[in-house]
């Protein structure tokens, strides 16, 4: 009687993706506010410059990835989203 009570998988995936994006957005806002309040601007600027100048050179991938991840916490004002960060950093 009636149709299938479960929503199509595409709908579920859309809802999950939307919720994840909202959570990421809230986390990003919190992170930005936290940095502004508790990390001195000179340190943020220095780490931001370090992030922008980071090159893999002769580092193994895992070391480069770890440094990139650590430094990526600081340049929150450079980009507005994780997607934009990836595009800017890697030219996608």
pLDDT digits (tens, 9 = 90+) for 2-15: 566 666 777 888 88
pLDDT digits (tens, 9 = 90+) for 23-32: 877 877 887 7
DSSP 58: T
> Is it the case that residue 84 has pLDDT exceeding 70?
no
Packing angle, helices 61-71 and 41-53, rounded to 10: 150
CA 5 to chain centre: 36
Q: pTM of this prediction?
A: 0.47
pLDDT digits (tens, 9 = 90+) for 17-67: 888 888 877 877 887 788 888 888 888 888 888 888 888 899 999 999 998
CA 39 to chain centre: 19
């Amino acid at each position: 009687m009636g149709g299938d009570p479960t929503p199509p998988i595409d709908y579920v995936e859309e809802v999950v993706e939307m919720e994840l994006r909202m959570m990421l957005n809230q986390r990003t806002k919190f992170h930005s506010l936290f940095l502004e309040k508790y990390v001195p601007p000179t340190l943020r600027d220095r780490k931001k410059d370090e992030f922008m100048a980071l090159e893999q050179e002769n580092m193994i991938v895992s070391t480069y990835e770890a440094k990139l991840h650590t430094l990526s916490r600081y340049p929150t004002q450079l980009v507005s989203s994780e997607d934009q960060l990836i595009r800017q950093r890697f030219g996608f």
